[in-house]
Amino acid sequence: MGNMGNMMKQAQKLQQKMMKLQEELAEQTVEATAGGGMVKVVANGKQQILSIAIEKEVVDPDDVDMLQDLITAAVNDALTKSQEMVSSQMGKLTGGMNIPGLM
């Protein structure tokens, strides 16, 4: 019975560490660019887009499709980087164990 109690304590400690890590990740950011830096997107560890910056030179009313493609590419890259950051930090916390539902 003591072994089960010890496991529960360890699980609670892990849960507390994970909650703290999630709070920290919400404050950490990643940046992605497209078009040679003409479009810049910043995302946090909660996979939220915090900002999008677009240089004036890339705004061409006759080529809206290109601008949309650049924004899409930058957003997708930012979200991928954010997910990688979260996975990396969670992996450190869990010792590389893949725990379903955590990521």
Distance CA 54, CA 68 (A): 11
Give the predicted TM-score (pTM) of the model.
Answer: 0.77
pLDDT by position in tens, the chain (length 103): 568 888 888 888 888 888 888 888 889 999 999 999 999 999 999 999 999 999 999 999 999 999 999 999 999 999 999 999 988 888 887 776 655 555 4
The pLDDT of residue 5: 81
Tokens of 18: 């994970």
Q: What b/e string do you get for 33-63 counting C-beta neighbours within 10 Å, with b at 16 or more?
A: bbbeebbbbbbbbeeeeeeeebeeebeeeee
